[in-house]
């Protein structure tokens, strides 16, 4: 495996009407990592994902992908084509189509919906979909209309749809929010499976989930990198403790 970072962000700043939501943030990811990005509300975590996928632009700083591409000036679709996939909190699946059809559509993103559903599928394409269904644990749901899935299943379907496009780097924003404990556990296992071939960044508030699945955690505060390390190192850090204390839902994150 390459030792060069897959993503290298240096001194990234994102401003909204002069307010710096991200303020000189550094983030380096190695291929195959599952990195958790945590921090109090308003720390700039979601904005950091937004700037990586091109949804917002950096006012300054550099963002380098695969040691080769400067993505700071690229458009969102160009960044997606380079291999960065972004999943937002609300799932964007086609609720009137079956699980199988959703994956089929995601596989042939450049065709129209009608052309995709009418086209004859090759055996290889069918095999790819079946493999994806297996990975996201929805084989038994292949012919279920996506609108009838549970909340967790919808999230897994959307992750599956993103994977059909073979991204090298996957950005997930609070993937386990609203999930049951069993669904959360399954999602963690799915992420472990995904990083066998890809790199994943997860913005997360669920500290039990982070504790169970994180090897390396990045803590953001006021738009900057506050601390990076194992969950234990982060929990033992006094400054991190101070920042979290009194911050509502994350107040039990440390100690």
For tokens 């194992």, the residue is 230
| Contact status: 24 vs ligand ATP (CB under 6 A) | no
Identify the residue among 10, 42, 82, 117 touching ligand ATP (CB under 6 A): 42
SS3 at position 81: helix
Piece of the chain touching ligand ATP by CB under 6 A; list 38-46, 123-131, 160-168, 189-197: 38-46
Of 21 and 52, which has the nearer Cβ to ligand ATP? 21
| Contact status: 45 vs ligand ATP (CB under 6 A) | yes
Cα–Cα dist 49/52, whole Å: 5
| Short-list 79, 15, 11, CA closest to 47 | 15
| Short-list 168, 167, 85, 100, CA closest to 132 | 100
Minimum CB–partner distance for residue 93 and ligand ATP (Å): 22
Residue 201 in tokens: 């960044």
The DSSP output letter for 168 is: S
Minimum CB–partner distance for residue 66 and ligand ATP (Å): 25
Identify the residue among 7, 13, 31, 46 touching ligand ATP (CB under 6 A): 46
Minimum CB–partner distance for residue 165 and ligand ATP (Å): 24
Minimum CB–partner distance for residue 115 and ligand ATP (Å): 35
| Contact status: 31 vs ligand ATP (CB under 6 A) | no
Residue 241 in tokens: 């403790």
Identify the residue among 21, 58, 157, 176 touching ligand ATP (CB under 6 A): 21
Contacts of 20 (CB under 8 A, 6+ apart): 13, 14, 59, 223
Residue 168 in tokens: 């090298």
User: How many of the chain's residues bind ligand ATP (CB under 6 A)?
Assistant: 10
Cα–Cα dist 252/246, whole Å: 9
Identify the residue among 31, 39, 152, 175 touching ligand ATP (CB under 6 A): 39
Q: Are strands 84-87 and 169-173 parallel, antiparallel or unpaired?
A: parallel
Identify the residue among 31, 44, 83, 175 touching ligand ATP (CB under 6 A): 44
| Contact status: 83 vs ligand ATP (CB under 6 A) | no
Q: Are strands 199-203 and 7-16 parallel, antiparallel or unpaired?
A: unpaired
The residues that touch ligand ATP, with contacts defined as CB under 6 A, are 16, 21, 39, 41-47
């Amino acid at each position: 495996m390459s030792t060069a970072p897959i993503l290298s962000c240096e001194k990234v700043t994102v401003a909204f009407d002069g307010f710096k939501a991200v303020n000189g943030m550094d983030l380096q990811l190695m291929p195959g990592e599952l990195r958790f990005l945590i921090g109090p509300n308003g720390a700039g975590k979601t904005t950091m994902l937004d700037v990586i996928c091109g949804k917002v632009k950096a006012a300054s700083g550099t963002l380098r992908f695969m040691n080769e591409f400067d993505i700071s000036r690229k458009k969102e679709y160009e960044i997606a084509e380079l291999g960065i996939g972004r999943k937002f909190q609300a799932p964007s699946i086609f609720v009137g189509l079956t699980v199988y059809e959703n994956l089929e559509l995601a596989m042939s993103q450049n065709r129209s919906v009608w052309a995709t559903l009418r086209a004859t599928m090759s055996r290889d394409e069918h095999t790819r979909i079946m493999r994806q269904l297996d990975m996201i644990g929805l084989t038994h749901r292949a012919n279920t209309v996506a609108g009838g899935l549970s909340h967790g299943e919808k999230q897994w379907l959307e992750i599956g749809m993103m994977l059909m496009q073979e991204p090298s780097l996957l950005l997930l924003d609070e993937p386990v929010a609203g999930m049951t404990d069993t669904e959360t556990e399954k999602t963690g296992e799915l992420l472990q499976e995904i990083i066998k071939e890809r790199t994943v960044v997860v913005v997360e508030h669920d500290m039990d989930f982070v504790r169970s699945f994180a090897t390396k955690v990045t803590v953001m505060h006021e738009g900057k990198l506050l601390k990076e390390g194992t969950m234990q190192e982060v929990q033992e850090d006094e400054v991190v403790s101070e920042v979290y204390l009194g911050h509502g839902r994350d107040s039990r994150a440390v100690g």
